[in-house]
Amino acid sequence: MEVYYRKVLLLWHYLLNKPQMTRKFIQFIYNYHLFSILCGLGIIFLCLIRIPLQENPIQIPNFDKVVHFTMYLLLGGAYLFESTHKRTSSMLWIYTKNLIYCGIMAGSIELAQMYLTSYRSGEWLDWWFGLAGAFTSCVVAVLIRLAFRSRGR
């Protein structure tokens, strides 16, 4: 078993010391939006799994809305991060695609929770919070771009 870990570490060391290979791997992730696709699949998984009942003395009202907001904030941020490096279209179109992508995904997940599962309930307020998270990711991206532009980078 120790030999296996040593080989994995040697391979990892080899890959990290080859900047051209690392650059190609990162470029592959950016070109095909793999990180945002993985985030989207993770959101689908988290929204459709059965959650076991737990005895939890702490009750936070509307905690699921905060979770939906955060999930789509991170998904929108990942999509925008990958899209801004390509620069094949205007930034307004990239922000619009982000809102459309997150909105369709949030709506389809709510419909799947409503009609495909018996242990989840789909609420349209979750959809609105998903859109709010996606919109907030666009606002944060604009603020980051303005901050870097003012520094001359």
Residues 17-40: pLDDT tens digits? 666 666 777 777 667 778 888 889
Out of 3-17, 44-58, 127-141, the most confident range is: 127-141
User: 49-106, pLDDT tens digit by residue?
Assistant: 887 777 766 678 888 899 999 999 999 999 988 887 666 678 888 899 999 999 999 9
Yes or no: say if 121 and 50 are a contact pair by the CB < 8 Å rule: no
Q: Please indicate, yes or no, if residue 3 is contained in any of the structural domains.
A: no
Q: Please indicate, yes or no, if residue 55 is contained in any of the structural domains.
A: no
Yes or no: say if 77 and 107 are a contact pair by the CB < 8 Å rule: no
Q: Please indicate, yes or no, if residue 104 is contained in any of the structural domains.
A: yes
Q: What integer pLDDT is reported at residue 55 of this predicted model? A: 73
Q: Please indicate, yes or no, if residue 114 is contained in any of the structural domains.
A: yes
Q: Please indicate, yes or no, if residue 131 is contained in any of the structural domains.
A: yes
